[in-house]
Amino acid sequence: NDPSLCTHLVYAFAGLGPDNKIKVLDPWNDLCDNYGKCGYDRFVKLREKNVNLKTLLAIGGWNEGSTKYSQMAASESKRKIFVDSVVALLKKHDFNGLDMDWEYPTQRGGAPEDQANFV
């Protein structure tokens, strides 16, 4: 519980919704709404103990798979929807950035074009 030991901390995980927007996977734990546990807010407040700390929100992970990320990355309009939603959520909760944990481009239902589309 000592945020001075790190330069960056990553909160895991958010997901990708069917609308190609970033999605809160556990609203009760992550948000303050409806007497939630305010996980996002408590996490970013760790910067009060270490002003140099950067807090990131991770999206993806093993459970999210690859198929929907592949479909999103293949379309310029879907990528725009995704990016706009990510920026809005990060700003709303005061995160410093995003960790894109897409496991794994070109595999697990992905497409050969994933690598180029991801970059």
Residue 103 annotated to the active site = yes
Write out the E strands in 1-119.
8-16, 22-24, 54-60, 97-101
Are 67 and 18 within 8 A, CB to CB?
Answer: no
Q: Which of 4, 75, 3, 14 is nearest to 42 (CA)?
A: 3
Active-site residue, from 64, 76, 103, 113: 103
> Residue 54's Cα: distance from chain center in Å?
14
Question: How far apart, in Å, are the Cα atoms of 118 and each of 3, 6, 33, 105?
Answer: 31, 28, 33, 8
Q: Which residues are annotated as catalytic? A: 103
